[in-house]
Amino acid sequence: MLVVTTESLPGYEIRAVLGEVLGVTACTRNPYVAGFRTLNGGQGAEMAQVLVQSRASAIAQMVTAARRRGATAVVGMRFDNRDITPNWVELCAYGTAVVARPITAEARQQAAEAEALT
């Protein structure tokens, strides 16, 4: 499924707007859970990996919600976050589920490649 941060999909015709979809995950700020800082004060590789995995999880949940609605793409995807507690942060991926039909050869190839990945 195509997931884009833009409001439109060049090469596609948006046939239907199905509404907002979202995916939510939480990650910790606790250094004992997330990994200690490096000696120079920067975040360790473990924390960066946790953040990447959290974003991927939120996107996957959003895509699942979009598929349940019959969408073929999500446009206007964004991330948002909020503190749940002093040690936990909620990460939300959200966008608009749409039914988009490729109308150019390049878009048809792109749609086929996106479906092969999922």
Residue 54 makes CB contacts below 8 A (sequence gap 6+) with 25, 26, 27, 91
Range 43-76 burial, b when 16+ CB lie within 10 A, else e:
eeeebeebeeebbebbbebbbebbeeeebbbbbe
pLDDT in tens, the chain (118 residues): 999 999 999 999 999 999 999 999 988 766 555 455 554 555 556 767 878 899 999 999 999 999 999 999 999 999 998 888 888 889 999 999 999 999 999 999 988 888 787 6
Q: What pTM value is reported for the model?
A: 0.82
pLDDT score recorded for residue 34: 46
At 32 the pLDDT is 56
How buried is residue 77: exposed, middle or buried, by Cβ count under 10 Å (0-12/13-18/19+)? buried
**Domain annotation for the chain: domains and CATH numbers:** 2-117 (3.30.110.70)
Q: Which of 10, 22, 2, 4 is nearest to 72 (CA)?
A: 2
